[in-house]
Amino acid sequence: MNIQQYYRLAANTSLNGSLAALIPVVVLIISNFFLFPKKEWVLLSVPFLFYSFLSYQVYLINQERFSRSKVNSGEKQVVHPLEESQLLLTFLPAPSLRLLFFCSNGQACGEIKDSYFTKLRWLLPYFLDKMLPAEYRLVDGGQYLLATIRWRKHRAIVKDEHGQGMMTIMAKDNRRFHVITENSSHSIHVKTETLHTDIQFLDENQHVLARVRKGWMPLEWGRSFVDANTPIFSLDENLAREERLAIVAILAKFYRYYNH
């Protein structure tokens, strides 16, 4: 997937949501005329009309982004998301999480997605869906499995592509995490600014290991990413693969239900 395809998919999803919201409106209006001639029934359709209108506006925005974005049409190369120092984050609607990583050239290079992605989960209330296992798959641009992340309350188990345990992450709260691997252990502190426009991942010495920021996109990237507020995920170039994976696992917990 490239960023153009993402914008088109996001636009189509919003359009489908807008049309789906009109179904109860039609049902309520027909019921008002033929079955229950009361004004209250028409008033019940107002929230659905409002949601349909908002979804249609999002559809128009993403259609405009699709038409304006330009993608490098050169040779495609599968990129490992844990080997990049700067990635852009986008989200697709999902029962819990579907986070896409994009490289600066507009090509998708990875994704965190729910392992139990079923249509039935769309119908579950938030409090019921939270009871299901929070297991996510980290894949590269070719959809090859890189790791599995399973959060259960305040504890995460991260396994490699072969199902072998790599690390355990203990969440002391939503800001402090302790990472335990076979050979070492360390702590990660998450610091967030107002409205989550700047999220920092810090070590014990307050050194920035990784960062997610909005509104800091380089101008040359604007050719592909029309939305200037697309979050940029930056990682310290000296981080080991396990350290990067630990931060990605914490990122999955942090953004769970972001676009539910």
Number of H helices, E strands in the chain: 5, 12
The reported pLDDT for the residue numbered 137 is: 92
Closest CA to 196 of 113, 89, 52, 117: 89
Kindly report the average pLDDT of the chain as a whole number.
84
Return the domain boundaries, the chain. 3-68, 81-254
For the segment 216-225, what is each residue's pLDDT rounded down to a tens digit? 787 778 788 8
The reported pLDDT for the residue numbered 227 is: 84
Higher pLDDT, 75 or 183: 183
CATH code for the domain defined by 81-254: 2.40.160.200
The reported pLDDT for the residue numbered 100 is: 92
Higher pLDDT, 233 or 115: 233
Torsion angle defined by CA atoms of residues 134, 139, 144 and 147, in that order, rounded to the nearest 10 degrees: -60
The reported pLDDT for the residue numbered 256 is: 83
Rounded Cα–Cα distance for residues 182 and 167 (Å): 7
Flag whether pLDDT at 260 surpasses 60.
no
The reported pLDDT for the residue numbered 13 is: 87
Higher pLDDT, 45 or 114: 114
In which band, very low, low, confident or very high, does the pLDDT at 68 lie, cut at 50, 70 and 90?
confident
> In one letter, which amino acid is 1?
M
Flag whether pLDDT at 259 surpasses 70.
no
* Mean predicted confidence (pLDDT) in 30-54: 76
Rounded Cα–Cα distance for residues 166 and 181 (Å): 6
Rounded Cα–Cα distance for residues 172 and 185 (Å): 15
* Mean predicted confidence (pLDDT) in 169-177: 87
The reported pLDDT for the residue numbered 235 is: 92
| Angle of helix 46-68 versus helix 3-34 axis, rounded to 10 | 160
- Which pTM value belongs to this model? 0.83
